[in-house]
Amino acid sequence: MSFNNQNIVVNKRRMYINYCSDKKPLENLEDQENLENQENQENQKNRPLKNKINIDGKEIEFLPGDTIMQAAERGGIAHKIPRYCYHPGLPIAGSCRMCNVEIEKASKLMTACSTPASNGMVVHTNTSKVQKACTGVMEFLLTNHPLDCPVCDQAGECELQEYNYEYGPGTSRFSETKRVFTNATTKRLSDKITLNMNRCINCERCIRFEETITKSYELVMLNRSWEKELTLSNYESDENDKDDEDKMPTKGLTSSYQGCLADICPVGALTFNDFRFQKRVWFLNRQPSICDACSKGCNIEVHFENDIIYRYTPIFNEKVNRHWMCDRGRISYHDVEDSGRITMPFMNTIDSHLHSVEWMTVLSYLKSTLAIAKKVLIILGTDSTCEEAKLFINRIPSLSKGEVKVCFYNGTGDVSSSKDDEKIDYLLQMKDQTANTKGLELLGIPPLETSYVPDSTDNTDSTDSDVVIYFRSGRAGVGGRGGLELKLKSSASLFLWGVFYKKELDKAALKQIVAIIPGLMTVEKSGTFINCDSLSQSFTSAITHKGAALPADVIFQIMILENRSAIRS
């Protein structure tokens, strides 16, 4: 039993480690080059000899400049080399000494992460000499590491636990008392990150992340050896008291990618406050999905148990987000779990109050309204998937005899189409806070006319639609809440379809809302988003839908099936 479990864990890590690298096998690259250079075969003859390295008996081709670790990543056997300070997205430090490998004809062990690979090198990763070195490194790391795995949030996905299971000495020869940082045991580095310095193994991944990825330089290591301590560097300069060395840092971490610090920390030293003590990680189910908090479309993994989402973590995708993810996207799962979200069908009755009703009441009312309407306007929020947009374009004309017009509405500040979209920082975040503006444009849907939009200077009276259906999945119109304050004809009836919140309805003009049809958030449905770089990404649902909400295709099926049965009778 335990043996099988160990195999599963190792296989998962093997997949994860080899997948999370941009160093791809070279054979595929060469095939592409061959296709391109079929004409000039003379060049191929003159090409330099292939560089090949032998790691554990496997011949791997690599590019000049690769280290042994990166060559192993190209061969798909990087999981054989343990590592702490090495991370494929960060510069190489070579400080943990965990990735020792034995190279033939070299007198000593070398670190795989920092030794350049050379042609004809023969590397062994699992000899008794390497095992002994790894055991030594583990013993030193564990001298001061507290035994608080029951409390630590990292337990279950901790690299120290995993490698200690494989290489650890099992017993400790350390009889002295362990080092305790009394001031930094539970230290808030910001409102998002908590530091426990006792657990730190000094790999300095966090410092290299701040230096190279976010370029905010907010973390430094103070002192040496046992007193080596991770601290904030942004002390506020106090002119009156220049000699005081114990100045308190005032700002804390300020970058908008702090959640990544907790991700890359191999132990539980840096933890994300939003997930801190919420759940033990071995209870969580995982499902890959797409973040819908901006038009970048970062690849995420939804961690949930019993259909309750506990966190989002980024997945490596070289073309979109690499290893990273912004904090706004990371905590955007709170909108799914919001208690104010409307998950029951509502209808506006005579006394202009919204009342919860049966599904069939709303749908038959919507169908009868569509059947007699002369002009139907469908406003798609730019967070709806391409499949849903297609559904509306194809199915609404079969339900209504009048003139049907489909357009999209973004509603993020002054963004109205993908031309206004731009990067708002150096890494990932985009100005457009909806996921599929580009996709709806590529389907040929025009943007909403400015005369409908609130706060616009266009006062021409072109808002002559009888029935307006506003469809969104919780993100479009967030900035100005524009969807609920549309300038409409007073006799027009507005159907809200999708994800809406009670706090929005307080602001809205209730008289025009005829019915609310609950819909699904991105993590609850399947579909396709096209991100700001015109990259099409499909996803499947992670959790089942909340409350009585139904997918759009099911609702259309119900309405159209009713139509057919009516014709038959």
Residues 172-191, interacting with another protein (CB under 8 A): 180, 182, 185-186
CB of 184 to another protein, least distance (A): 10
CB of 191 to another protein, least distance (A): 14
| Of 196 and 531, CB closest to another protein | 196
Instruction: Count other Cβ atoms within 10 Å, centred on residue 485.
Output: 17
User: Taking every pair of C-alpha atoms in the chain, what is the biggest distance, in angstroms?
Assistant: 92
For residue 504, what are the contacts with CB-CB under 8 A and spacing of at least 6? 481, 484
| Only segment of 270-278, 342-350, 433-441, 479-487 that touches another protein (CB under 8 A) | 270-278
Residues 133-172, interacting with another protein (CB under 8 A): 146, 148-151
198 binds another protein (CB under 8 A): yes
Residue type for 110, please?
M
CB of 197 to another protein, least distance (A): 10
Question: Residues 404, 378: contact at Cβ < 8 Å?
Answer: yes
Q: Which of 196, 385, 429, 433 forms a contact with another protein (CB under 8 A)?
A: 196
44 CB burial (10 A radius; 0-12, 13-18, 19+): exposed
Instruction: Count other Cβ atoms within 10 Å, centred on residue 19.
Output: 13
CB of 251 to another protein, least distance (A): 21
Half-sphere exposure of 232 (CA within 13 A, CB side): 21
Residues 444-463, interacting with another protein (CB under 8 A): none
| Of 305 and 414, CB closest to another protein | 305
| Of 282 and 554, CB closest to another protein | 282
DSSP string for 109-162? -EETTTSBP-TT-EEESSSHHHHHHHHHHHHHHHHSS-S-TTT-TTTTS-HHHH
CB of 284 to another protein, least distance (A): 12
**Could you give the string, one character per residue 31-60, with x where binding to another protein holds by CB under 8 A and - elsewhere?**
------------------------------
How far apart, in whole angstroms, are the C-alpha atoms of residue 223 and residue 112?
A: 28
CB of 308 to another protein, least distance (A): 12
CB of 276 to another protein, least distance (A): 7
| Of 271 and 465, CB closest to another protein | 271
CB of 150 to another protein, least distance (A): 3
Q: Which of 490, 487, 483 is nearest to 511 (CA)?
A: 490
CB of 542 to another protein, least distance (A): 23
Strand 308-314 relative to strand 187-188, pairing: unpaired
CB of 419 to another protein, least distance (A): 46
| Of 145 and 475, CB closest to another protein | 145
Determine the size of the site formed for another protein (CB under 8 A).
17
Vertex 565 angle, CA 564 and 569, to 5°: 120
How far apart, in whole angstroms, are the C-alpha atoms of residue 334 and residue 344?
A: 19
| Of 11 and 186, CB closest to another protein | 186
| Of 92 and 184, CB closest to another protein | 184
| Of 147 and 561, CB closest to another protein | 147
| Of 158 and 377, CB closest to another protein | 158
401 binds another protein (CB under 8 A): no
| CA-CA-CA-CA dihedral for 225, 229, 235, 241, to nearest 10 | -60
Vertex 467 angle, CA 462 and 469, to 5°: 105
CB of 261 to another protein, least distance (A): 19
| Of 3 and 282, CB closest to another protein | 282
**Could you give the string, one character per residue 272-291, with x where binding to another protein holds by CB under 8 A and - elsewhere?**
----xxx-x-xx--------
What's the distance, CA 474 to chain centroid?
17
How far apart, in whole angstroms, are the C-alpha atoms of residue 164 and residue 400?
A: 66
CB of 178 to another protein, least distance (A): 11
How far apart, in whole angstroms, are the C-alpha atoms of residue 380 and residue 378?
A: 6
How far apart, in whole angstroms, are the C-alpha atoms of residue 96 and residue 86?
A: 8
Which H or E element spans position 562?
Answer: helix 552-568
| Of 226 and 282, CB closest to another protein | 282
216 binds another protein (CB under 8 A): no
CA distances from 305 to 149, 186, 398 (A): 21, 27, 40
Instruction: Count other Cβ atoms within 10 Å, centred on residue 203.
Output: 24
| Only segment of 14-22, 244-252, 271-279, 361-369 that touches another protein (CB under 8 A) | 271-279
Residue 516 per-residue DSSP state: E
| Of 50 and 188, CB closest to another protein | 188
| CA-CA-CA-CA dihedral for 344, 349, 352, 353, to nearest 10 | -30
Give the residues lining the site for another protein (CB under 8 A).
146, 148-151, 180, 182, 185-186, 196, 198, 276-278, 280, 282-283
